[in-house]
Amino acid sequence: MCLFKPNWATTGHRFPHHTSLQPRLSLCRQYASSDSSQGVVRQLKSKLQEANDKYNNFLKRRFPRFHQLYNTFTEGFKLLFQDAKEVSKLNTRLATRQVTWRDLPYRDVEKLRQFRRDLVKATPLVLISIPPFANYLVFVLMYFFPRQILLRHFWTPQQLVEYRGIYHSHRAQHTWAVLQCIQNNIPQVKDGPLQIRLKDLCTKVQNGVHPNVADIHGVRGLFSGPPLGLKRMNVEHMRHICPMLFLTPRLPGILIRRRLYDHAVELLLLDRALSRLGLNQLSDAELKQACYVRGLNSDVLSINQCREWLTQWLQVTANLKGIHVSYSPTANI
């Protein structure tokens, strides 16, 4: 009987079944270890979040001033990294010609414009922090000179309003100088009716009257050639315009002219993109920022006033071309 008793080890009826269980068992162990590792990660994240909340509550109770600065810096770094990531994607699309500047949405154009200015502002701070132990000096400068050192991402909402008011007061100081330069060029206007229109426009601004769209369109042609066109404008006139656009006037005349032209074209692209988007699609903060960029102290005006002013601005620039790139002092009144 033993001769006829099946030998399961040699016939192979059980051996394949036993070997097929090995991968399944190892797979189960793998899933179990994966689930356990994910559970550990979740617990670790939960503990870290709990510790962070306790730390925030402690700072809020004991050091409210430092807690405000801590939150401002934390959120600022998040916004800065988010902007850097989005700008990198936009630059890649522009470099690979997937999209052109003229086709970009308004918010993308504004983000590229503002981020480039942020880089220019941050460059001196980065250079200062390169030497060993210089980062301690940087922290001191950031604490005592937040307006001059810090980027807008690290300002509190109160600081944002305060600093914008300061910057606007600086650029408004050059309004009358620009207006005087325009008046000095009135005798050079050969066309009699145009000369009268320009003189009336300057008189309105001097008397505190905001000119309407028709008044500005009536003298539009004077800013595409001599004597008020950017290619023929004298250096003194351009140096007064630069601070009104937050550009440095301490450059040779040929560089100032080029920077003013680039800035004017940039504003024109912004206006085109904003017209496509529509003012109703902007939030209140975006609406105020758009007015501020174009020379208006929007923080002292209501939302309806800002919308009305920006509507008139877009009506003025709707029919402009690249040749009409000068600057009107009426924006800063």
Tell which of 101, 119, 150 closes a domain.
150
Nearest residue to 312 via CA among 263, 265, 275: 275
How confident is the model over 257-273, as a mean pLDDT? 93
Q: Are residues 68 and 128 located together in one domain of the fold?
A: yes
If you ran DSSP here, which 8-state letter would residue 231 be given?
Answer: T
pLDDT bucket at 129, cuts 50 / 70 / 90 = confident
- Does residue 133 surpass a pLDDT of 70? yes
**Residue 20 within any structural domain of the chain:** no
Q: Are residues 135 and 223 located together in one domain of the fold?
A: no
pLDDT bucket at 322, cuts 50 / 70 / 90 = low
pTM of the model: 0.76
φ and ψ at residue 228, rounded to 5 degrees: -105, -5
Q: Are residues 118 and 243 located together in one domain of the fold?
A: no
Tell me how crowded residue 208 is: count the other CB atoms within 10 A of its CB.
7
In tens, the pLDDT along 54-113 reads: 877 777 777 777 777 777 778 888 888 899 999 999 999 999 988 988 889 999 999 999
pLDDT bucket at 30, cuts 50 / 70 / 90 = low
Number of structural domains in the chain: 2
Tell me how crowded residue 182 is: count the other CB atoms within 10 A of its CB.
22
pLDDT bucket at 14, cuts 50 / 70 / 90 = very low
Identity (one letter) of the amino acid at 37? S
pLDDT bucket at 22, cuts 50 / 70 / 90 = low
How confident is the model over 173-196, as a mean pLDDT? 93
- Does residue 24 surpass a pLDDT of 80? no
Q: Angle at which helices 192-206 and 175-184 pack, to 10 degrees?
A: 160
Task: Domain of residue 202: give its range.
Answer: 171-332
**Residue 46 within any structural domain of the chain:** no
Q: Which residue has the tokens 């024109």?
A: 268
Specify the pLDDT at position 86.
93
Q: Which of 131-135, 161-165, 310-314 has the lowest mean pLDDT?
A: 131-135
Q: Are residues 78 and 142 located together in one domain of the fold?
A: yes
Identity (one letter) of the amino acid at 139? F
Mean confidence (pLDDT) of the chain? 83
Q: Are residues 143 and 180 located together in one domain of the fold?
A: no
Q: Are residues 223 and 328 located together in one domain of the fold?
A: yes
**Residue 31 within any structural domain of the chain:** no
**Residue 107 within any structural domain of the chain:** yes
CA gap 145, 162 in Å, rounded: 14
